[in-house]
Amino acid sequence: MIAKAKAVAHGIRAMLYVSGESRNKKHPERITRICDNFMPQGMDATGIFTEMKFATMNRPDIKNNVIRLEISPAMEQTQDFTLDDWRQLWRDFAVAFDNQEILDDDGKVISVPTNISGSKSSVWLHKESDSGIPHLHAIVCRVDERGNINNDHAIHLRAQRAAEMIARQRGWTTAQHIHETNIPKVSSDCMETLRELDEWSWEGYMERLAAKGYKLYLRKDKKDVIRGYVLLKGNTKFKASELGKGRSLTASRIRQTWEKLHSDNAQQVRTTAKQPVVPTPKPSVFHEAAQNLQPRVQRNTPVYEDYTTWQPDRLRTEFEHDGKTYDRYIPDKVLDRLNDEFDHRELANWQALQNLAMAYFTLVASPYGEVAGGGGGGSQSDLKWGRDPEEDEIEFARRCAQAASNRLGRHLKGGIKRR
C-alpha cells in the first residue's frame, strides 16, 4: 500500500478530477463517491469546493487551501471490499495521518500533528479503466472545523508513514518491503545494461534502460555536472545509491564499473584466444554498416511527451485554445509551477495565460507556429518546439509560461500591463 499527499492551490481542478465531473468525462462509471465529511451530502464538485473556501476565507495567507491525497492498496488486498470497507480504510488512514509528530535529524519538530479527521473532506473511489486497480482520492480542507490549520510540512512523508502503519496493522505487504524486494532485479538490469554498452555514455545507458522499461532522471549541479540519478519503473523510484554492490552504480562510480566489466570481458577474450581459431569470412560492406548503426539520442531533438493518458502523478485538466477545449493529464508539479507563474490574485488575465502555457506544454500549439495534430509531433515551422532531452518538465513549463507571457503580456489587476 502506498499513499501520496500534497497541499495545492488548484483546488477546484482537483475536485473536478476526483469527482469525475468534466465536459470530457472518461469512464465516470468507474468513479464512486465514498463519503463527504462535515458537509451536506451529495453536493457536486463546485459545491464541495465552495464549502471549503468558506472554511478558509478568514485565512487569506493560505495559498494552497486544500490537501490532495491518493491511497493505493494492492488490488488483491481490497478485491472483496464493500463501500463500508473503503470508508473504514479512509478513517483509519486519516487517524494514522494525524497522529504523527515528525522530527528532523536533530530531534527538532518540523511537523506537528494534523486534524484531517476533523476537517471537511470528500473521498472518492477510482478504478483504472484498463486494469481495474482501485485507489482512493480525497480532497481535504486546510482549515479544520475548529479553525486550526492543517500544516503541510513534510506532508509527503506523513502520507507514506500513514500508509506503512495501516499496512502493518492489517497484515498487508508494505511498499517498503516491495521496494526492497525489487532492488536486486533492478541492480541486475543495470549491470546487464552496462555489459551491453560497447562504449560508455549516459545517452547509451539511458537508451538501453528505456528498452527494459525504465526511465532515468539525471540530477545535475549548477555547472551541469551529473551528481546523481534516479530510476523510475511504474510507480516505483530507485536511487542510484540503493543499487549495485558497494554503491558501484552511483553517478561517481558507474563509469569505473563499466570499465571493470569490459576489462573482465577483454581478459576472457584473451583466454579464449589461446584456443585454435577458425578463420571466418570478412563481413560484407552492408553487414559492417549494419553493425555500426548504433542508435544515439540526438541532444538537439525535442522530446514529445504524450499527456493524453493517465499516470499517478498527473491531474486531468481542461484548457481552451483557439476556440477548442482540450482534456489532458498534466503533472502536479507543472500545474503548481503555472499557478505560481500566473497568480490569480495578481493577474487579471491569469486564465488566458495558463491556457496558452498548457497548450504550449502539451504541444497543442507552438510559439513558432501551429503544431500538426495536437498532442505530439513537430510544428510546421522550421523551429522545433518541445522539451530538450536534458531539460526537466519544470524547466520546460517555465519556458512555456515565458512564451505565453511574451505572446499575451501580463495584465495586473488594476489595469496595469507588464511583460
Could you read off the pLDDT tens digit of each residue along the chain, which spans 419 residues?
A: 889 999 998 888 889 889 988 654 556 668 999 999 999 999 999 999 999 999 999 888 888 999 999 998 888 888 889 999 999 999 999 999 999 999 887 889 889 999 999 999 999 999 876 667 899 999 999 999 999 999 999 999 999 999 999 988 888 866 666 667 788 889 999 999 999 998 999 999 999 999 888 999 888 887 788 888 988 887 678 888 888 877 789 888 898 899 888 886 656 555 555 555 555 555 444 444 444 433 333 345 677 777 888 776 777 788 888 888 888 888 888 888 888 888 877 888 888 999 999 999 999 999 987 664 444 444 445 677 888 888 888 999 999 999 999 999 998 877 655 55
- Cα–Cα distance, 22 to 28 (Å, whole number): 9
Provide the whole-model pTM: 0.53
Q: Do residues 348 and 222 both lie within one domain? A: no
Q: Do residues 186 and 238 both lie within one domain? A: yes
Q: Which helix (H) or strand (E) holds 37?
A: strand 31-37
Decide which of 158, 173, 188 is a domain's last residue.
173
Give me 274's grid cell. Answer: 589461446
Q: Which helix (H) or strand (E) holds 261?
A: helix 254-272
Collapse the DSSP code of 72 into the 3-class scheme (helix H, G, I; strand E, B; otherwise coil) and give the result.
strand
DSSP state of 242: G
Inter-residue contact 231 to 254 (CB < 8 Å): no
Please give the single-letter amino acid code of residue 50.
T
pLDDT confidence of residue 386 = 87
Asked whether residue 150 is assigned to any structural domain, the reply reads: yes
- Cα–Cα distance, 247 to 252 (Å, whole number): 9
Give the CA radius of gyration of the chain. Answer: 25
Asked whether residue 307 is assigned to any structural domain, the reply reads: no
Collapse the DSSP code of 272 into the 3-class scheme (helix H, G, I; strand E, B; otherwise coil) and give the result.
helix
Q: Do residues 221 and 360 both lie within one domain? A: no
Give me 199's grid cell. Answer: 562504449
Q: Do residues 263 and 350 both lie within one domain? A: no
DSSP state of 411: E
DSSP state of 415: T
- Cα–Cα distance, 411 to 419 (Å, whole number): 8
Q: Do residues 222 and 318 both lie within one domain? A: no
Asked whether residue 271 is assigned to any structural domain, the reply reads: yes
Q: Which helix (H) or strand (E) holds 4?
A: strand 2-8
- Domain containing residue 96: CATH number: 3.30.930
Asked whether residue 309 is assigned to any structural domain, the reply reads: no
Q: Do residues 181 and 126 both lie within one domain? A: no
- Cα–Cα distance, 38 to 117 (Å, whole number): 10
Inter-residue contact 399 to 393 (CB < 8 Å): no
Q: Do residues 99 and 181 both lie within one domain? A: no
Asked whether residue 297 is assigned to any structural domain, the reply reads: no
State the virtual CA torsion across 125, 129, 130, 135 in degrees, nearest 10.
Answer: -10
Residue 359: count other Cβ atoms within 10 Å of its Cβ.
23
Q: Do residues 266 and 368 both lie within one domain? A: no
Decide which of 127, 155, 173 is a domain's last residue.
173
Inter-residue contact 52 to 141 (CB < 8 Å): yes
Give me 24's grid cell. Answer: 470530457
Please give the single-letter amino acid code of residue 134.
P
Asked whether residue 414 is assigned to any structural domain, the reply reads: yes
Q: Do residues 325 and 245 both lie within one domain? A: no
Asked whether residue 104 is assigned to any structural domain, the reply reads: yes
- Cα–Cα distance, 305 to 386 (Å, whole number): 8
Q: Do residues 13 and 41 both lie within one domain? A: yes
Q: Do residues 69 and 161 both lie within one domain? A: yes
Residue 363 neighbours by CB under 8 Å, 6+ apart = 304, 305, 371, 374, 375, 376, 377, 385, 386
Angle, CA 395 vertex, CA 389 and CA 399 arms, to 5°: 105
For 104, the domain range is: 2-173
Decide which of 150, 173, 196 is a domain's last residue.
173
Q: Do residues 12 and 114 both lie within one domain? A: yes
pLDDT confidence of residue 372 = 44
pLDDT confidence of residue 416 = 57
Asked whether residue 214 is assigned to any structural domain, the reply reads: yes
Domain count of the fold of the chain = 3
DSSP state of 100: -
- Cα–Cα distance, 403 to 194 (Å, whole number): 40
